Amino acid sequence: MSSEKNRKEIVFEVAKRAVLAARAMTRVSAGEKNRALNKVADFLDEKSEDIIFRNGIDVEAAREDSLAEPLIDRLVLDAGRIKSMTDGIREVAELEDPVGEIIQESVRPNGLRIRKVRVPLGVIAMIYESRPNVTGDSAALCLKSSNAVILRGGSEALNSNLAVAHYIREALADTAVPPDAVQVIDDTDREIVKHLVSMKGLVDVVIPRGSEAMINAVSSASLVPVIGHGKGLCHIYVDSSADPEKAVEITRNAKVQRPGVCNAVETLLIHSEAAEKILPEICRRLREDSVELVGDEKARKICPEMGEAADEDWSAEYLSLKLSVKVVSSLEEAVDHIERYGSRHSDCIIAEDTCACDNFLRSVDSSCVYANASTRFTDGAQMGLGAEIGISNQKLHARGPMGLTELTTYKYHMLGNGQIRR
């Protein structure tokens, strides 16, 4: 009982410090934030060897615990990924500061001037699994948007997250940005999360990023608004008008380039009029990349070496070199399948028929809908947003890759000269 009480008190103290830091952040100028972010990036580069060493402890423990390879891949921080993280932090520093933007302005007949102004959300609780680079990405985006962030990563990345966060705070010590604007909770007990998401009045928003089970658990327990980064069950639909070469290359890239991420394709839908012509070459190329294929009866008639898809395959986020394949009779059937099984993340049509593309773009209700391009572009940096704090499958308050603007809200400035209401 006492340890539980201590955990709640620890979270409460962290949240109180975050509130004070968030208030201080409203007084930090854009130039000061940018200088702080560049200092953070330089310092993380300087300390990269130590970060890699501490990450190695986590990776070794994950292998001893027989963690799945896609999860281990997400966990690894090598020199290239640290450079990608620090480059992302510098890119965020270069982005236009959204805070203080006048979204809308009007003057009432009585002379009262009304401004709708972009402001930070306040204190953000970031709950995530595996990827320690999220520590740097989240901190950069929250600081640039004048928020404070409380980070709670998974136990599998504890040493990595603590190292990255420690050096971020150390780099901030001599800047205008308060170090308490970035805090990490190092207790891996799951009860900590329940305490954190119950801090209504201190924490303004919770962003869970990880497995569907974790996100559902956080959403169910939270007394604070949640912006969920759900699973990525992404589809590619090959239309009857598809260019065969585009169909092969886009499907291969979306599945193989990095299979363990949420924007990799998991299900291929192909029109019956295109299947005989295009599917054998898609299957041949994917087999060269060691992709396991499972399909419905029609797909297996065309590619007999394909395994039989079970009912659960259509709702599976594999995060591995596995792909389910279904032959459909129309674009409408493809859209219906996506509506039934999809996660509203990223879905694509490959077609030369512009009407088919337009129909698909209008009909599929996902955060990112593609025509003739790989789903792997659902990424903040690839979309020009800089680093991202997550990809929201929701419709409120943010949708798709969450960059700086999505970490803000607005308030109204009411500028008068003695007006009173009669």
Query: In the structure, what pLDDT confidence band is assigned to residue 394 with cuts at 50, 70 and 90?
Result: confident
Q: What gap in Å lies between CA 233 and CA 243, rounded to an integer?
A: 24
What pLDDT is attached to residue 386?
67
Q: What's the rounded Cα separation, in Å, for the pair 276 and 139? A: 49
Q: What percent of the chain has pLDDT over 90?
A: 86
| pLDDT tens sequence across 182-224 | 999 999 888 999 999 999 999 999 999 888 888 899 999 999 9
Taking each helix axis as running N to C, give the angle between helix 48-64 and helix 79-94, from 0 to 180 degrees, rounded to the nearest 10. Answer: 120
Ranges of beta strands (E only) in 146-284 are 148-152, 182-184, 205-209, 234-238, 265-271
CATH of domain 2-229+402-415: 3.40.605.10
pLDDT, tens digit (0-9, with 9 covering 90-100), for 89-146: 999 999 999 999 999 999 999 999 999 999 999 999 999 988 899 999 999 999 999 9
User: For residue 368, what pLDDT is reported?
Assistant: 97
pLDDT number for residue 293: 98
Nearest to 366 by CA among 405, 388, 337, 387: 337
Tokens 């591995």 belong to which residue?
320
Q: Do domains 2-229+402-415 and 234-377 have the same CATH topology?
A: no
- CATH code of the domain made up of 234-377: 3.40.309.10
pLDDT by residue (tens digit) across 283-330?
999 999 999 999 999 999 999 999 999 999 999 999 999 999 999 999
Question: How many angstroms separate the Cα of 347 from the Cα of each of 171, 229, 283, 335, 337?
Answer: 40, 16, 20, 10, 11
The 10s digit of each residue's pLDDT in 50-98 is 999 999 999 999 999 998 887 888 899 999 999 999 998 999 999 999 9
- Residue range 379-383: mean pLDDT, rounded: 87
Sequence spans of domains, the chain: 2-229+402-415, 234-377
Helix segments in 65-132, DSSP class H: 69-75, 79-94
Nearest to 368 by CA among 347, 398, 396: 347
